[in-house]
Structure 1
Amino acid sequence: MVVSDSISNNTFNNLQGNSNAATDSVSEFMQELERNDIRYVRFEMPDLHGISRLKVIPINKVEGYARQGLNFYGGTLALDTSSLVVPGSGYHAERKFKDHLILPDFSTLTPVPWLEKTAKVICDPVEYSGEMIAIAPRYVLKKVLELAATMGFDVMMGHEFEFYLLDGETRQPLFGGCQIFNHLRSQYNSDIEKMVQYLEESNLDIITYNCEHAPSQFEINYGPASGIEAADKAFNFKTAVKETAHRMGYLATFMTKPYPDKSGSCCHFHISLWNKETGENVFLDTRDELGLSSTAKSFIEGILTHARGLMPTIGPTPNCYRRLKPHTFAPSKVSWGIEDRSSMVRVKATHDDRTHFEVRAASGLSNPYLTAAGVLAAGLLGVKKQLSLRSASDCPGEENPEFPWLPQSLGEALDSLAADSEMKQILGEEFVRVFTAVKRFELDRFARHVSDWETNEYMEVY
C-alpha cells in the first residue's frame, strides 16, 4: 500500500482551522483505504514509554472517528510501565478519570502486512477543546522541531536499535557465544528473514540486518528521515518487531540489559542539521581541520553540557544504567570523539554531506520521540549560546579520568533533569513534571522489590 502525496501532505495540525480541507483530507484518507481493500484500521497512540496504545476500528466506523476523534482514556499518558495509575500525576483521579480524543495523522498511514486487510495510523491526543496535550511525547518532539525550524534548521535523524530475539517460552537466547556479524547467525532461520520482509512491507526502508555482539542479539537498520517522520519510523519499527516476533512464537525485547553477563541493547541515535533555505548540511565545514562547522561544535557542546539532565529522556528505566559501564562499547562518561565508540557523542566527520553525530548513550528501550526531543533540545541550547566545544581525549573517552561520569542511576538522572532549568523549559514544564512523577513512582516500586541476589546472598547465611 502506497500512501498518496495528497494524503501525506495533510496532517491534522494544518487542518484544524480549515473544515473544508479537513473534509477533503478525510475523504482522501477513506479513498486510500478503499483502494487498498482495507477492512480494519488501528488507531495507535505512542505513550510516555514509546509503547503503542491502540484501538482497532472496522472500516465502516473509521470515517466518523477520523473526523471527530476517538475516545481514549485521558490518563493513558500518565500510566507507568506496568500500566498502573500514578497518583499525584494530575491525570487520573484529579480529572475524575475523564477521556480525551485521539486524532489520526493521515501522513502516517501504513500497512500491517502480517494481519489481513489491516492498516495503521499514528494518532495525536487532544482535549475535547482541541488543545494539544502537553505531555504527549510526539507533541514534545514537535515543539522542539519547531524551535529548530525558527533557527533555520531541518533535522535529519535515525534511530539504530539492538534487540534480543528469544525463545517465547523459555525467554532464553536461540544460540550461544559471541557471534557478531557471523553469517550462520545473522540469517539464523527463515523467521528472521520473514520479519525483515514484514518490515519492508510496512514501508520501512531496511538497509542492513545482522546478528550483534551478544548471543541472539540482532540489529536491523533502516534509513534516516527528516523531522517527526524519523521518530514515527522508529515507533513503527519497534512495534512491528515486537508484534511479528510474538506471532512467530518468539519474544523480541529491547530491554537494555536483560542478562547481567551479556551485552546491553542500545539505541544509537544519529542526527544532523540542514539549512532550511539552501538544503546544505549545517554541520559540515570543509575548511575546518575536522570538517566541522562552528554550529556543529556548539551542538556537541550543548549535548555534553546538558548530558546529565538529558539522560532520563534516553535512559528512562533503572535497568538502563546497568549498560553504561566502561569497556562495554557503551559510554560511561560525558565525552565526545571522532569515531570514538566509547564516547557519548561519536562524531562521524566524513568531510562531506554525510557528516553527523551518533549519540551512543540511549537505551534500546528508550522512547524514540523523547530520545529525539532530548538530544535535539540539548544541542540547540548549545547552538543558541554559541558554546565552545571542549577538547576531546587522545585516548578513548571512557579512559580519561578528567571526564565526568554520566549518571549511574535513574534517580540521579532525574535529579539532574530537575536541576536543568533550560532543558525543562524547552521540553515543557508540564511534561517534565508528569514524566518525573511517573518515573519516581516506578523507581519506588523498584526499590521495594526484593531481588533474587538478596535472597540467595542472605537467606541462608543469616
Structure 2
Amino acid sequence: MNMDTINRLIEENDIEIVRVVFNDNANVARARNIPVKFFRDTVAEKGVQYPSAMLSVDTSANFVLSAGAGFSGGYGSWLLKIDPGTFKVIPWAKKSARVIADLYTLEGEPVNVAPRSVLKRVLNELDREGLKTYGAAELEFYIFKQYDQSGYEPTWTGLQCYSEVKQGEVDDILYDITVGLAAVGIHVEAANTEYGPGQFEISMNPQWGVGQADAAFTFKSAIKEMMAQRGLLATFMTKPLTGLSGSGSHFHHSLYDKETGQNAFYDANAADGLSDLARHFIAGQLYHAKAISALANPTINSYHRLRPYTFAPSNVTWGLENRMCMIRVPGARGQGTHLENRLPGADMNPYLMMAAMYAAGLDGIRRKLPAPAPVENQDAYALSSAPSLPRDLGEALAALNADDELIEYLGADFVQSYSALKMNELNRFADHVTDWEIREYRELF
C-alpha cells in the first residue's frame, strides 16, 4: 500500500483521526492519535516523536530504570514511523484509521529493543537461509459482563465448547467480532465457545512474515475495543478464573522455500511426511523451550495454565496429532504442512513470542539438532523422561538469560531490557499479600 491508496481511503471514508500504534515490551498497545491533516503533511513521511522512557514502563506503569538508559540518559525522543502496508480503516471507531509503526532513533536507526524490530531481525536471518514464514496465532479469550473484586458474570454459562445452543446465546458477539475483524483484513476461519464460562476461541487466516504478528496484535486490540463499546470486558489474561480453563494462543506456523514456493516442512518420501528441516526446526523449539517460555508466557499469571491434563503442555514433547504435547503436528501435508506450538498463553506479545519460536527453530536448522522420537501411544503428561516446562516466570527468565544462542538471535540489549521489566513485575508480586494467603492463614495462626 502506498500513500496514494492511503489518501484515497482517507477521502472515501471521511477519516479525521489516524492512530499510530505499536506493541511495547510490557505488551501494552500504545497509540498516538493524529489529526488527519498533520498525518498527511508530516507523520506519514517523517514519523511522530515518542518518548523513549515509555519502553522502560512495566505493566503497572512504573518506570524501571534498568530497562533503559535511566535518568542519566535523559530519556530523549524516538520516532514512530509508519508501515504503510498496515493502514486500515477501523469501522468501530468514529472516522478513524489505524496504522502500525516501527520505532526509530532520531538518527534513523531501528530501536533494537522494540518488539517488532526484534521479530524483523529474526525473519531476516530466516531470509538469509532462503526461507519465508507463514503462520497465525489461534487465540482464546474470555468476555465478561462483570469481572471485578465482587465477582464475575460471564457472557455465557457452562463449559459446553462448540455448543450451537450456547453459541446462539452469544451469536451477536461472534457476528460483530467476525465482521469487524474482516474489515481490517483479518479473516476468521472458525469462531466458537471454549471450555470455560464466557470463553471463546477464534482461528484467523495465516499471514506472511511480520504480518502474522501484526494480525494478532490487531486482533487483540480490536476485540477489546469492540467489546468495551458493548459494556463488556474482553480479557486475554491467561488464567482469569481459578480452577477453570486457561486461555492459550496456539501458534500455527510453517516455512516455505523462497525460490520454489514449496513447503519446506514437507517431504513426500518420509513416512510421516516431515522433512529433515522440519525435524531440525522442531528440535530447536524443544531445545530452547524453557527460554521461549519467558516470551510465550510473559506474566506471573501465565504459569497457572501450564498444568498436566488441561490440554495445555506441561513438559517438552512433540507428537503427531497429539494435543497433550507442546508441539503438535497436525495431519495436513503437502503445502499445508505446519506445526502447532501449544506453549504460548493468550497474554503473549505476538512479536516477541513469534521471534522466539522462529529463532529457536532456525537455531535447530543451522545446528542440525536431532529431534527425539515423537510421543506415540503414550500419555505425554506421564513421561518422566520429558523435561518439565518452567513452573513460574522467574524460572523461565533464568532460562532465557542462560540461553546464549537465543540471546544472539533476539539481541542482548533486548533480553536485558525485557528481563529488567519482568523482574520488577516479579519483585512487586513478591511483596504483595494475596487474597489466598489471607483466607488460608488469618484465622488459623
**1:354 aligned residue:** 336
Query: Structure 1 residue 82: deviation in Å?
Result: 1.5
Query: Structure 1 residue 224: deviation in Å?
Result: 0.3
Q: Please point out which of 425, 435, 444 is paired with 1:452.
A: 435
Q: Please point out which of 118, 126, 149 is paired with 2:127.
A: 149
Query: Structure 1 residue 31: deviation in Å?
Result: 4.1
Deviation per residue, 1:265-318 (Å, 9 max, x gap): 000001100000000000000110110000000000000011111111101011
Query: Structure 1 residue 169: deviation in Å?
Result: 5.9
TM-score (norm 1): 0.92
**1:417 aligned residue:** 400
Deviation per residue, 1:399-454 (Å, 9 max, x gap): 21111100111000000011100000000000000000000000101111100111
Aligned-residue identity in percent = 38
**2:64 aligned residue:** 86
C-alpha separation in 1, matches of 2:430 and 2:252? 33
Query: Structure 1 residue 191: deviation in Å?
Result: 3.3
**1:261 aligned residue:** 243
**2:313 aligned residue:** 331
Residue identity matched to 1:407:
P
**2:24 aligned residue:** 47
8 A Cα contact 1:242 1:251, kept in partner? yes
Q: Please point out which of 353, 364, 380 is paired with 2:346.
A: 364
C-alpha separation in 1, matches of 2:107 and 2:9? 29
**1:165 aligned residue:** 143
C-alpha separation in 2, matches of 1:213 and 1:106? 39
Query: Structure 1 residue 74: deviation in Å?
Result: 0.8
C-alpha separation in 2, matches of 1:136 and 1:80? 14
Comparing 224-233 with 41-50, greater Cα deviation is found at 41-50
Q: How many aligned residue pairs are there?
A: 439
Residue identity matched to 1:177:
G
C-alpha separation in 2, matches of 1:246 and 1:92? 35
8 A Cα contact 2:20 2:101, kept in partner? yes
Residue identity matched to 1:68:
K
Q: Secondary structure, in 3 states, of the residue corresponding to 2:154?
A: coil
Residue identity matched to 1:87:
L
**2:386 aligned residue:** 403
Q: Please point out which of 136, 140, 148 is paired with 2:114.
A: 136
**1:227 aligned residue:** 209
Comparing 234-243 with 195-204, greater Cα deviation is found at 195-204
1:430 corresponds to 2:387: no
C-alpha separation in 2, matches of 1:149 and 1:349? 27
Q: Please point out which of 80, 85, 99 is paired with 1:107.
A: 85
Query: Structure 1 residue 96: deviation in Å?
Result: 1.8
Q: Please point out which of 176, 197, 202 is paired with 1:194.
A: 176
C-alpha separation in 2, matches of 1:186 and 1:221? 16
Query: Structure 1 residue 102: deviation in Å?
Result: 0.5
Residue identity matched to 1:436:
S
Residue identity matched to 1:66:
A
Query: Structure 1 residue 176: deviation in Å?
Result: 2.5
1:125 corresponds to 2:125: no
8 A Cα contact 1:290 1:349, kept in partner? no
C-alpha separation in 1, matches of 2:343 and 2:132? 23
Q: Please point out which of 372, 375, 385 is paired with 1:393.
A: 375
**1:22 aligned residue:** none
8 A Cα contact 1:74 1:92, kept in partner? no
**2:165 aligned residue:** 184
Query: Structure 1 residue 76: deviation in Å?
Result: 1.6
**2:290 aligned residue:** 308
Q: Please point out which of 94, 107, 113 is paired with 1:116.
A: 94
C-alpha separation in 2, matches of 1:169 and 1:414? 30
Comparing 81-90 with 448-457, greater Cα deviation is found at 81-90
1:443 corresponds to 2:394: no
Query: Structure 1 residue 68: deviation in Å?
Result: 2.0
Query: Structure 1 residue 92: deviation in Å?
Result: 4.1
C-alpha separation in 2, matches of 1:59 and 1:318? 40
Q: Secondary structure, in 3 states, of the residue corresponding to 2:280?
A: helix
**2:15 aligned residue:** 38
Query: Structure 1 residue 390: deviation in Å?
Result: 0.7
8 A Cα contact 2:320 2:375, kept in partner? no
8 A Cα contact 1:334 1:404, kept in partner? yes
Q: 1:215 to 1:416 in 2, by over 3 A?
A: same
C-alpha separation in 2, matches of 1:50 and 1:113? 24
**2:362 aligned residue:** 380
Residue identity matched to 1:33:
I
Q: Secondary structure, in 3 states, of the residue corresponding to 1:426?
A: helix
Q: Secondary structure, in 3 states, of the residue corresponding to 1:187?
A: helix
Query: Structure 1 residue 351: deviation in Å?
Result: 3.0
**1:16 aligned residue:** none
Residue identity matched to 1:129:
E
Q: Please point out which of 186, 205, 222 is paired with 1:204.
A: 186
